[in-house]
Amino acid sequence: METIKQWKNICKAKTIVAVLNKKHFQASYVLNLAEAKEKLVSMIDDGASVALGGSTTLSDMGIVDVLRNGNYAFFDRYQNLPFDPDIVEIHRKSLTADFLLTGTNAITKQGELVNTDCTGNRVAPMIFGPKNVIIVAGVNKIVENLEDAFKRIREIAPMNSKRIKHETPCVETGYCVDCDCKKRICNFTTIIHNGIKFEGRIKIIIIADEAGY
């Protein structure tokens, strides 16, 4: 039997799915991370080329191992290679992938997707390039409006900086000081207002649970 918290999260998921579909995204919801993984994998064609945006939600579901199973042409940015030129070259190739799999930093209640990136390799192909974009996000990513989306991103960015081991001031303080250092991870911010330009290109799986941060 579902708990009251699960029921609340399902309500949130259903509501945002309806908003996102009105905004011409292809959205649906699942109950948990395991179901999200099953659904995500079922949506990727065998033999397709696949790129991955940095995402704790996708990492937590073990998607890298799935993409390394030989069924896909995986643009694998998680190899132990130098960032420049090798990883940058993988990022370039990723722009033409059949599928981009990624999370999102925030979803407003009006159905906007808001993201901030260090390199641009995630936010750029979310907008244009890959034929399909599949976004997986927990209900904890839902915020009231754009202002709260930017606030959320500022709050979570230090955790992302710590996770990817960037030497930024926020890794010491735990909060954003709007730094000006080479390793800054907050360089490019995008708002995707809707999915109308290439209808059906952006698919969104909402998890009726907390996932990632």
Yes or no: say if 49 and 99 are a contact pair by the CB < 8 Å rule: yes
- The verdict on 179 binding ligand SF4 (CB under 6 A) reads yes
Q: Compute the C-alpha angle 154/211/40, nearest 5°.
A: 120
Task: Pick from 40, 90, 157, 204 the residue near ligand SF4 by CB under 6 A.
Answer: 157
DSSP state of 95: T
Span interacting with ligand SF4, options 4-12, 74-82, 134-142, 162-170, rule CB under 6 A: 162-170
- The verdict on 156 binding ligand SF4 (CB under 6 A) reads no
- The verdict on 159 binding ligand SF4 (CB under 6 A) reads no
- The verdict on 176 binding ligand SF4 (CB under 6 A) reads yes
Helix (H, G, I), strand (E, B) or coil at 65: helix
The tokens for 29 are 């919801």
Indicate the residue among 63 and 156 with the shorter CB distance to ligand SF4. Answer: 156
Span interacting with ligand SF4, options 3-11, 59-67, 98-106, 157-165, rule CB under 6 A: 157-165
Span interacting with ligand SF4, options 10-18, 22-30, 164-172, 195-203, rule CB under 6 A: 164-172
Task: Pick from 89, 177, 193, 198 the residue near ligand SF4 by CB under 6 A.
Answer: 177
According to CB under 6 A, which residues from 12 to 71 bind ligand SF4?
none
Dihedral angle computed from the Cα positions of residues 47, 41, 199 and 186, in that order, rounded to the nearest 10 degrees: -100
81 Cβ neighbours under 8 A, 6+ residues apart: 87, 90
In whole angstroms, the minimum distance from the beta carbon of 161 to ligand SF4 comes to 5
The tokens for 115 are 């993201």
- The verdict on 178 binding ligand SF4 (CB under 6 A) reads yes
- The verdict on 185 binding ligand SF4 (CB under 6 A) reads yes
Span interacting with ligand SF4, options 32-40, 96-104, 170-178, 201-209, rule CB under 6 A: 170-178
In whole angstroms, the minimum distance from the beta carbon of 169 to ligand SF4 comes to 5
- How do 113-117 and 106-108 pair as beta strands? antiparallel
- The verdict on 186 binding ligand SF4 (CB under 6 A) reads yes
Q: How far apart are CA 132 and CA 44, in angstroms?
A: 9
136 forms beta bridges with: 205
- How do 99-102 and 73-74 pair as beta strands? unpaired
Sign of CA dihedral 16, 22, 23, 29: positive
**Residues at the contact surface with ligand SF4, assessed by CB under 6 A:** 157-158, 161, 168-170, 176-179, 184-186
